[in-house]
Amino acid sequence: MNNLRVVMLAAVTLAGTTGIALGGDMSAHAIHCGDILGPKGHFQLQQDLDCSAVPPPLNQMTALTIQDGATLDLNGHIVTCGSQNVRCVVLTGTGTQLLDGVIRGGFASALWIDGKGGHTVKNVTTLIGEDQIVVLSDNNRLVNVMAFAANAFVISGNNNRITDSIAECGPSPVGLPCIVVRGDGNRLVDNFVTTPDGFQIGLSIEGNNNVVEKNRAILNRGGLVTGGGGIVVTGMGNDITNNTAFFNTPVDLQDKNGDCAHNKWKSNTFGTRDPACIQ
C-alpha cells in the first residue's frame, strides 16, 4: 500500500445552499451546498462544507454534483452530509475528477459515480453512511481511497480500476460484503479489506473476468446468515492471484463454483480455503 495518507478531521463550517450550476475555471469561487460543478473547469474547496443542517430543495438530494470534465480539489477539506442528502457527492457525465479530501455522511452513499464514466477519484476518504462508494459507470479509476462504513465499495460498472485503497466495514444492516464487485472486467490491485466488528464477506467477486491481485483480506468475520470469508468468488473467468488472506471466518478463500475450473487461483497466501484446489 503506497502513499496512504491519513486525513485529519477538522471542525466543519456551515455553508448556505444555492443549487446553481458553475462552469469554467472557477477555482476561487465559493462552493455551496447544492452546487453543480461543470461542465469542465477546475474547482477548489476553500473551507469545510457542512450540508448536514441545510435542507435541500425537493429535487436536490445531493450536496455536490461534479459533471462532464470538471475537477473538484477538496484541498484537504471535509464535505459533511446528513440524512436529507441521499447522495453526498455525485460524479456524473464523463471524465470528472475528485481529489484530496474527506466526504462524511450521506444517507444512502457518500460518493455516487455514474454517467458514461472515465472518472478519477484520488486521495479521498469517506466516512459514515450506508454504501460509501457506489460505482455504476465504466472505466473509472479509484486510487488511494479509504472507505469506513457498513458497506465500503459497491462496484456495478465494468472495466474499473481500484488500487492502493482501504475498506474497513462495520455491521451491515443488509449483510452486504465490505467490497462487492458485480460488474465485469474490473481490476482490484493492492487493496486492504477488513470487517473486524461485522459479520460480512470482505471481498465478494460476483461478476466475471475480473482481476483480483495483491489484495489483503484480514479479519473478515462471517456469520451463518450473511455468509462470510476473506475473498469469496461466485462469478466466472476471474483471475485471483498473489492475494493474502488470514483470520477470516469461516474461510479465507472460497470459490462457490465448487471447483477451480471456472476461475484462476494462483500464488495466493492463506490459512484456509474451499475447495482444496485453490492455490
Name the nearest CA neighbour of 159 among 177, 135, 185: 185
Query: Residue 238 corresponds to which cell in the numbers above?
Result: 476471474
Lookup: cell for 159 = 472495466
CB 80 within 8 A of CB 12: yes
Structure letter (DSSP) for residue 61: -
- Burial class from Cβ neighbours inside 10 Å (0-12, 13-18, 19+) for residue 226 reads middle
pLDDT for res 16: 37
Q: What is the pLDDT of residue 200?
A: 86
**Torsions phi, psi for 214 (to 5 deg):** 60, 30
Grid cell in block for residue 166: 482501504
And the C-alpha cell for 44?
A: 477548489
Please, which residues have CB within 8 angstroms of residue 242's CB and are 6 or more apart in sequence?
213, 214, 266, 267, 268
pLDDT value of residue 176: 81
CA dist 82 and 63 (Å) reads 9
Out of 3.40.50.11260, 2.40.30.10, 2.30.40.10, 2.160.20.10, the CATH code matching 21-274 is 2.160.20.10
Could you tell me which residues come within 8 angstroms of residue 230 by beta carbon, excluding any fewer than 6 positions away? 193, 202, 203, 217, 218, 220, 245, 246, 248, 251, 252, 253, 270
Give the pTM: 0.88
In tens digits, what is the pLDDT along the chain, a chain of 279 residues?
Answer: 443 333 322 222 223 344 445 555 544 458 999 899 999 999 999 999 998 876 665 555 788 999 999 999 999 999 999 877 788 999 999 999 999 999 998 777 899 999 999 999 999 999 876 678 999 999 999 999 999 988 899 999 999 999 999 999 987 766 789 999 999 999 999 999 999 887 789 999 999 999 999 999 999 987 555 568 999 999 999 999 999 999 999 999 999 999 999 999 999 999 999 999 999
C-alpha grid cell for residue 92?
A: 456524473
